[in-house]
Structure 1
Amino acid sequence: MPPMPTRPDDRTRRDDVPRAAWRPPRWLEVSTGWSWRLLVVVAACAIAVFALSTLSAVVLPLLLGLIITAVLSPITASLRRRGWKPAAAAAVGLLVLLAFVAAMVWLLLAALVGPWSTISAQIGEGIDVLVREFNERFDGDITSVSDDLRSGIGSVAMTLLGGVLGVLGVAVGLVTMGFLTLTVVFFYLKDGPTMWSWFLGHQHQHRDTVDRVGRAMWEKVNAFVRGTAAVAFVDAVGIALGAWILGVPSVLAIGVLTFTLSFIPFFGAFFAGAIAVAIALADGGLGTGALMVLVVVVVQQLESNLLQPVLVGRAVRLHPLVVALGVIAGGSLGGVFGMFLAVPLIAAITAAVTEMRAAGAEQRLAVAGAPAGEVAGEVADGAAGEVAGTADPPTGDQVP
């Protein structure tokens, strides 16, 4: 019998045949790509938050100094134009700041610390009046709620007072931060333009873009601080005037608290209004309290619908949800100072992103020979509208 031909090994045959390179499905590639990018962003944010929390004793004075400098810079700029030396102009600006802080501290001490026991008792009496009226009108019993509120009113009120009067704290950290903030403000006022020119000198390729971004951020911070100060003043005058007309005591305390807390969006005005209503309830009963509620609501509605859009809204253009989340995040990181810094920082970051997108669009259009100014302006408006929540939704061709 002739020998049978040997059959090649199937495994060897499969190894010899080239196979096409295997690729995962498209959806898996896209998902993994976005996943690792998201992880990088989350890690960067976590590192930034950790660094800010660790270095808060240095970071907070630097940021507070920028906000205060935005308010005082017109004074020093005017003095420089009149021939004053930078150091002398900065010293005058610092004296104005110290005078303002001293006046606010004196007003707060005179309005709150002296009659604090009376104010606390009035708030407690206001809670009792509200509970009694509820029980009589609705045949209910919420006395236990009243007891809880009365037992906690001292600690809650003192916590709120400690946040408002943070500059009076005896902690070494607060004293150090206050001194460092004053030092930072002085040098910002004295050498701010020189510092910015030195920084721009190290930006060789992107000097113009960095200058545009920095100036846009500075303008946003200026617009927010000055607009918020004007709105806070109108709020304080309106609510204090309403309390005076109704015969509510502690009018000065109500006005000072309203002005101070109005720099904290959303929550500050609510707390100030609640205190005013509680004092009105204690002094004049349910009728006076209801009228005080009406005064607070009317003033805050006029502020939010008329003054805020004109003085702050057009310049900052932030969605209310962004503002609320930013204030909460700032409070968790930096306390009262973090709540105050949250909105101007978000506005500055928004301005930076808008200007960078506009600058990139101008560069691309300049290469293509198109009118860069017009289209870049449209890009800037669209970027600001996205943050403000007013941009048009993308069409089908614009969705990646």
Structure 2
Amino acid sequence: MRVSLDAVKTRAALRTSARISLQVLVVLALTGVVLWLLGRMWAVVWPVVIALLITTLTWPIARFLRRRRWPAALAAAAVTVLFLLLVAGIVLLIVLPVASQSGALADGVVDGIQQLRQWAAGPPLNIGEAQISGALDTAVTRIQDSVGSILTATATGVGTVANGLVTAVLSVFLMFFFLKDGPRFLPWLGRQLPGRLATDVPVVAERCWGTLGSFVRSQAFVGLLDAVFIGLGLWIVGVPLVLPLAVLTFVAAFVPIIGALFAGAVAVLIALVFNGWVEALIVLGIIILVQQLEGNVFQPMLQSRGLGLHAGVVLLAVTLGGSLAGITGSLLAVPVAAMFAVIWTYVRDQLSTAPEEDEPLETPT
């Protein structure tokens, strides 16, 4: 009898494990199908994602205007125009000072190349002029042999820039409509869903919206910290173009990994051209220090506090997103992980809420 009971329990456990495994496989298959569909529709999904990120950043201003009895369309239009003016101002802060010192920058680049050649010619390298000229000739020959590849890459780059402009324009228009009609979306969504979904889905969507806003605000604050500390370091060292470099650092903070590398490389190059090797190395040390503090202290701490995620989860999410989808994955990894956490918390709370038992009826004595 004992053996038969154990066999029954074993078979029941195996059936339960098989059922759970099948359910997990179904979920993974559905996830794969959804990701495949998103990849096929990425030309439409990406502008929507960018528009949502921008809307979370500009929505407080639109909400303030709407509470002052501004019409929804007028408030959305005013915020959209203000955003475009802000972007144009940032571009001017970067472009105009650089253009005004373009002559000095070009002369500095030439001087830097000459200093590099003199340094290479001296000890410990002792590279002669003939070797340098030979290396330059080899580089020119390789460039000439690769003209076809360069033209193809240039055409691809032009196509990428054109697609980026189309995405930017579409994102701005979508931002306007999100600002204008956003508050009416959740009630409309609730009316389209049946049963309990009419309540659950709008609640989860509203919480995800709040989480996305926390992510964008924390990212902006981290970018501001980078810009202030790096700009202060550049000013102390005496590097020119401090304001454009600080603005560039702030804007680049919204693009994970590549943005920080690009802004840091530009700052080191400017320091090398205008100040020399010692100051360039000092600027490189400042940038590395600030970036380490940002990546390991500021960003995980702020995002974990604002998004309800542990700092380790934030770091792992960024690493996984970057390995799966590159820069885009790094950018979207943290908000996606936070939204999954919001959905899981809501489902867990709903499942753990036990239905209230009916009170027993009292029988008259």
User: Within 5 A, what are the aligned runs for 1:296-375?
Assistant: 296-304=287-295, 307-316=298-307, 317=309, 318-331=313-326, 339-362=330-353, 365-367=354-356
* Residue of 235, 245, 248 corresponding to 1:244: 235
User: Which residue number corresponds to residue 181 of structure 1?
Assistant: 171
Q: Is the alpha carbon distance of 1:236 and 1:324 closer, same or farther for their aligned partners in structure 2, counting shifts above 3 Å?
A: same
User: Which residue number corresponds to residue 101 of structure 1?
Assistant: 87
CA distance in structure 1 between the aligned counterparts of 2:26 and 2:341, rounded to whole angstroms: 21
Unaligned runs of 5+ in 1: 1-23, 153-161, 370-400
Q: Is the alpha carbon distance of 1:261 and 1:175 closer, same or farther for their aligned partners in structure 2, counting shifts above 3 Å?
A: closer
CA contact (8 A) 2:222 2:298 kept: yes
The alpha carbon displacement at 1:197 in A equals: 0.7
CA distance in structure 2 between the aligned counterparts of 1:140 and 1:102, rounded to whole angstroms: 49
CA distance in structure 2 between the aligned counterparts of 1:191 and 1:221, rounded to whole angstroms: 18
Q: Is the alpha carbon distance of 1:355 and 1:193 closer, same or farther for their aligned partners in structure 2, counting shifts above 3 Å?
A: same
The structure with the largest alpha-carbon Rg is 1
- Percent identity for Structure 1 against Structure 2: 34
User: Within 5 A, what are the aligned runs for 1:1-400?
Assistant: 36-37=22-23, 39-110=25-96, 171=162, 173-203=163-193, 204-304=195-295, 307-316=298-307, 317=309, 318-331=313-326, 339-362=330-353, 365-367=354-356
Q: Is the alpha carbon distance of 1:26 and 1:264 closer, same or farther for their aligned partners in structure 2, counting shifts above 3 Å?
A: farther
Q: TM-score, normalised by structure 1?
A: 0.66
Give the stretch that moved more between structures: 189-198 or 350-359.
350-359
CA contact (8 A) 1:63 1:341 kept: no
CA contact (8 A) 2:317 2:333 kept: no
The alpha carbon displacement at 1:71 in A equals: 1.0
CA contact (8 A) 1:280 1:288 kept: yes
The alpha carbon displacement at 1:39 in A equals: 4.6
- CA deviation map 1:29-52 (0-9, x unaligned): 788667655554443333223322
User: Which residue number corresponds to residue 385 of structure 1?
Assistant: none
CA distance in structure 1 between the aligned counterparts of 2:117 and 2:257, rounded to whole angstroms: 26
Q: Is the alpha carbon distance of 1:342 and 1:319 closer, same or farther for their aligned partners in structure 2, counting shifts above 3 Å?
A: closer
User: Which residue number corresponds to residue 398 of structure 1?
Assistant: none
CA distance in structure 2 between the aligned counterparts of 1:304 and 1:289, rounded to whole angstroms: 22
The alpha carbon displacement at 1:77 in A equals: 1.0
CA distance in structure 1 between the aligned counterparts of 2:59 and 2:248, rounded to whole angstroms: 26
The alpha carbon displacement at 1:304 in A equals: 4.5
CA distance in structure 2 between the aligned counterparts of 1:280 and 1:265, rounded to whole angstroms: 23
Q: Is the alpha carbon distance of 1:193 and 1:266 closer, same or farther for their aligned partners in structure 2, counting shifts above 3 Å?
A: same
The alpha carbon displacement at 1:188 in A equals: 0.9
Q: Is the alpha carbon distance of 1:186 and 1:297 closer, same or farther for their aligned partners in structure 2, counting shifts above 3 Å?
A: same
Q: Is the alpha carbon distance of 1:96 and 1:81 closer, same or farther for their aligned partners in structure 2, counting shifts above 3 Å?
A: same
- CA deviation map 1:312-348 (0-9, x unaligned): 221222330211221443437x5xxx65344323322
Q: What's the C-alpha RMSD, in Å, of the aligned pairs?
A: 4.3
CA contact (8 A) 1:123 1:275 kept: no
The alpha carbon displacement at 1:225 in A equals: 0.4
Q: Is the alpha carbon distance of 1:44 and 1:131 closer, same or farther for their aligned partners in structure 2, counting shifts above 3 Å?
A: farther
- CA deviation map 1:110-158 (0-9, x unaligned): 35677679769968987997999899898799x99x98xx999xxxxxx
Give the stretch that moved more between structures: 234-243 or 274-283.
274-283
Unaligned runs of 5+ in 2: 1-9, 143-153, 359-365
CA distance in structure 1 between the aligned counterparts of 2:159 and 2:232, rounded to whole angstroms: 28
